[in-house]
Chains A and B, each alone.
Chain A
Amino acid sequence: MIVETGHYALVLALAVALVQSVLPLAGARLGDGRLMQTGTNTAILGFLLLALSFACLVTAHVQSDFSVLNVFENSNSAKPMLYKVTGVWGNHEGSMLLWVLILGLFGALVAGFGRDLPASLKANVLSVQAWITTAFLLFILATSNPFQRLSPAPFEGQDLNPVLQDVGLAIHPPLLYLGYVGFSIAFSFAVAALIDGRIDAAWARWVRPWTLVAWIFLTLGIAMGSYWAYYELGWGGWWFWDPVENASFMPWLSGTALLHSALVMEKRSALKIWTVLLAILTFSLSLLGTFLVRSGVLTSVHAFATDPTRGVFILAILAIFVGGSLALFAFRAAALEAGGLFAPISREGALVLNNLFLTTAAATVLVGTLYPLVLDVLAGTKISVGAPFFNMTFGPLMLPLLAVVPFGPLLAWKRGDLMAAAQRLWAAAGLALVVVIAVLAYTRGGKILAALGIGLAAWLILGSLTDLAGRAGFGRVARGVALRRLAGLPRSAFGTALAHLGLGITLLGIVSVVTFQTELITTMTPGQVVEAGGYAIRYEGTEKRQGPNYSEDAARFTLMRGTDRVDTMESARRLYTARQQPTTEAGIRTELFSQLYIALGDAGANGGATVVRVWWKPLVTLVWLGAVVMALGGIASLSDRRLRVGAPARSRRRALLQPEPAE
């Protein structure tokens, strides 16, 4: 009964989404408050129904109800409880349900917290959000129904893809989806504005926090996915320019651009049209990512679905939403009111530069991702575009952007003074130069690129600190005053500084790993010793073990510095019995920010010998910690109370008590 209730709730959610697609929009057209109010009710109802449906599917997974096809295909009664729950979204159908659930969540959040929005804007936003929900609910019910039953219920389930049986699955997809789908709100706001043919001043105020929320989650989701791939796949890499990674990276790039242009719009009412376009583009890239992953045109860990009808369905959704919104944009953009003016050298100008670089970078990634697919379709030639392409295109695009990042926050709005900004940055530049020279000296001049890269990272980190210090007035006023002023700075100032600091930290990690890591692939027999990261690593032998749903060969290693035994490490090869699929469990030892990484290759034919890959990865964790710092910056910025605008009713009362200064 639970399963069928979940199924029915899903169908009912579709009916509710249809009502939400029509009534609030009609209400906004007619100016009828009651019709517009239905949007709030249906958005919350729809979310509750989707939550009920999702809870039912989780229950079926937890109880190993193999009369549900989805549970049978992706679960196993021997699977540990955590993976029974996370397995709900470790497959195509369940993850689509999570996708729609989050779509509904964002709609309900707008409905619940959007009291201060102009009623007609809110109604339009909720209707557009419901169009997306309707499209994806139709997709789920027609091609990917998670509640499809199986009779008679089989013996035992087929188990979850072993690569996915990891804590990472509990965190990565929900974060990523919150990011992906969060951009749907920016999209809905953009389309709602286009439908009305006008952009309210409240528009930018509202779009920015939603974009920030989505961006924070997407940043964390991508970082988490990268770390997961790093430790689970056993290749020792953390980014592969894999099409699926690119699919999540493109919305991040354009979402970052959107975040910055929304800032300009909010502050100066400029770049309105551009911001609307970016909002559409960002969500379109999210949809494109969904299409690439779900249509089966790609082969990857993420490609759960290889059913062509699904691909065609998502392609149709993609075409309707992207094509429709862009057509609407072309039709309406000219009618939108242009915003304020600014000089090229100004905060606005810097943000425009940032936008140009980020969107070009996103376009580069898009080309690199789609070109092989298009070529395959048109010419039947299979090529793979990998790291070399992106290193040659994406890298050179990002370097100048990173170099000018510290200037941006130091420039004044409307008309900035580049020389003044440069003067305030001389200390950071000098210190960065010292870092470059220090690295060159340390490597005896052998690694010029590494020195420059680390110098750039230092420049970013110091530059963002300079911004904070300058705003607080360190060096100009007494330290006590400066500290007090620092504490009194708006949170968004900390947000900017933290986000740029995080960027520098990530860059430091990337440069360090790319240039200083050591890799060793060798065959080892028990007792043999190899050197890596200043350790002598002795292979002790391999032990067979039995897990709940897998068997593993666990190799033990002893780490020695000189003759002192420092630690032991373990690295394993697993075989998951239900699917007869092998996985690797890399042994990773973290030392401050660096890691020693040991992965097992194939076992040797004659007893004891095994292929071992040992990496020493200096400062590798900074790659992900930097992303966490960026997300913290986003959170700081989000908590800035200035983003919240009072509702008119309240303001009138305030205005009576405290008259506005003369305008």
Chain B
Amino acid sequence: MLFWVVAASLTAIVTLAAVWPVLRPRTGASPVRAEHDLEVYRAQLGELDGDVARGALRSEDAQTARAEIGRRLLRAAEQAEGARARPGARRGGLIAVAVVVAVAVPALSLAVYGTLGSPAMPDLPLEARAGSDPSAGGMTALIAQAEERLKQAPDDGRGWDVLAPIYLRLSRYEDAAKAYRNAIRLLGSSAAREAGLGQAATEIAGGEVTQEAKSAFERALALDPTLLQARFFLALDLSQEARYAEALPAWRQVVADSPPNAPWMAMAKAAVADAAQRTGAPALAEAAPDPRPGAIEPPTSPGPDADQVAAASQLSSGDRQAMIEGMVAQLAERLKSDPKDAEGWKKLIRSYNVLGQPDAANAALRDAQATFPPESPEGTDIATFARDLGVTGAGETRTP
């Protein structure tokens, strides 16, 4: 609405100012052109004397030049004398002009703007998007805020820890690796951080599990032997190094421990089949989608070859997203059966927040507080953590 007020005022002011001279009464006759010429010739005569004084013009040449300018001057003077200001346009004509302009300017502006503009669309500067609900823009703003804070306080380990998985998800792998390294340096090693570092390093290397990534995954597994993410990538490493005999059981373990609908399942199964084919071992029954009696891969129809596995290892961003969502779902399941895990709840809240699911994050906070009342040390910790992320637990029904 405000826009239309501004647009209307602009149009009114501009139209009025444009036709204003036409509406005024006739002013005194302006000097005719010859009078302007007179002025110039007079100035030139003056300069001629200066030129002679400085020696830029010889005096006999100056004489002829003076005569030349003088002739022009005289002629201009005659013209000025004889010229009479022309009558100009008639009053009626001018009013018609003013009316046409006053109608055409707003009409044209509105017609053109109407086809090109988006009058209803508000501005969306960074700040406005930051304040608004957690759409994509909100996350950008959060990241920007966090980065700003970390620039001030680069030793805030928790900040790095929060930011790292977000970077990973946004495919900013260099940043993710840096954030994970900082988090590990400041907060110490944890399975999630090591595995994240490994994944970032793998992505930087274009999907190849590098030595650095491999040691990170191994450290992660040492801390949490059940961590599927680390086991997945270590198995991938074995496949990439063509150590299929070792890769096969590793992949089988990943497949066995993953939820059946996990998004990485297809790839893991393909890897099992590939490793099995290369080692000559029979593929697991579960690798085949439709197990029939004695369903062993016939030798004429080989499983996916190394290229396919390599291609699959460079997960598309959609796949990665799915993989992360799968892991989050798994975590939520685990916490339902075993809620006494404050770190787990924090991880879940953060994950939902990163995935842009504020309702789920709020719900998770409420569930966590059902197990850990806000008065308890863990409860306070979780509440502070959530508040830092901007998760308020809104929609809460019970008062703390």
Contacts and interface: CB of A to CB of B under 8 A. Distances in A.
A101 to B, nearest CB: 17
B72 interface: yes
Contacts of B88: 30-35
A546 to B, nearest CB: 8
Across the A-B interface, the 6 shortest Cβ-Cβ residue pairs:
A31-B86, A63-B125, A37-B21, A32-B88, A201-B40, A648-B35
Contact of A12 (B37, B89, B109): B109
Contacts of B121: 3-4, 67, 149, 151
A615 to B, nearest CB: 32
Given A1-B122, A200-B37, A642 B43 contact: yes
Contacts of B55: 471
B309 interface: no
Nearest to B119: A4
A1 B3 contact: yes
Contact of A8 (B21, B40, B113, B125): B113
Given A15-B104, A66-B124, A151-B121, A41 B18 contact: yes
Given A12-B11, A156-B140, A660-B45, 11 more contacts: A8-B10, A8-B109, A18-B104, A34-B89, A66-B124, A66-B137, A118-B32, A205-B40, A412-B57, A648-B31, A648-B36
A38 B116 contact: no
Interface stretch (B22-30, B234-242, B244-252): B22-30
A500 to B, nearest CB: 16
Interface in B216-247: none
Interface of B: 2-3, 6-7, 10-11, 14, 17-22, 24, 26-27, 29-33, 35-45, 47, 50-51, 54-58, 61, 64-66, 68, 70, 72-74, 76, 85-89, 94, 97, 101, 104-105, 108-109, 112-113, 116-119, 121-127, 129, 135-137, 139-140, 144, 147, 170, 172, 174-175, 178
Nearest to A32: B88
Interface string A465-486: 0000001000000000000000
A2 B112 contact: no
A489 interface: yes
A584 interface: no
Given A34-B94, A149-B121, A642 B11 contact: no
Contacts of B172: 577
Contacts of A147: 116-117
A645 B113 contact: no
Contacts of B29: 33
B125 to A, nearest CB: 3
Interface in A604-654: 642, 645-649, 651
A31 B32 CA distance: 10
Nearest to B49: A661
Contact of A15 (B33, B43, B68, B105): B105
Interface of A: 1-5, 7-9, 11-12, 14-16, 18-19, 23, 26-27, 30-35, 37-38, 40-42, 45, 49, 60, 63-67, 77-78, 116-121, 141, 145, 147, 149, 151-156, 200-202, 205, 267-269, 340, 347, 412-415, 471, 489-490, 546, 551, 577, 642, 645-649, 651, 660-661, 663
A60 B3 CA distance: 16
A269 B125 contact: no
Contact of A155 (B32, B64, B136, B178): B136
Contacts of B27: 33-34
A273 to B, nearest CB: 17
Contacts of B135: 152
Nearest to B64: A414
A649 B31 contact: yes
B36 A118 contact: yes
A121 B36 CA distance: 11
* Central interface residue in B36, B76, B87, B89, by most chain A CB within 10 Å: B36
A551 B126 contact: no
B73 A118 contact: no
Given A35-B89, A66-B124, A200-B37, A11 B116 contact: yes
* Central interface residue in A5, A11, A415, by most chain B CB within 10 Å: A11
A153 B57 CA distance: 70
A646 B127 CA distance: 54
A413 B51 contact: yes
B123 A647 contact: no
A471 B54 contact: yes
B37 A4 contact: no
A154 B26 CA distance: 57
Given A4-B119, A471-B54, A153 B129 contact: yes
B104 A201 contact: no
B268 to A, nearest CB: 30
A3 B112 contact: no
* Central interface residue in B41, B66, B86, B87, by most chain A CB within 10 Å: B86
A11 B31 contact: no
B21 A41 contact: yes
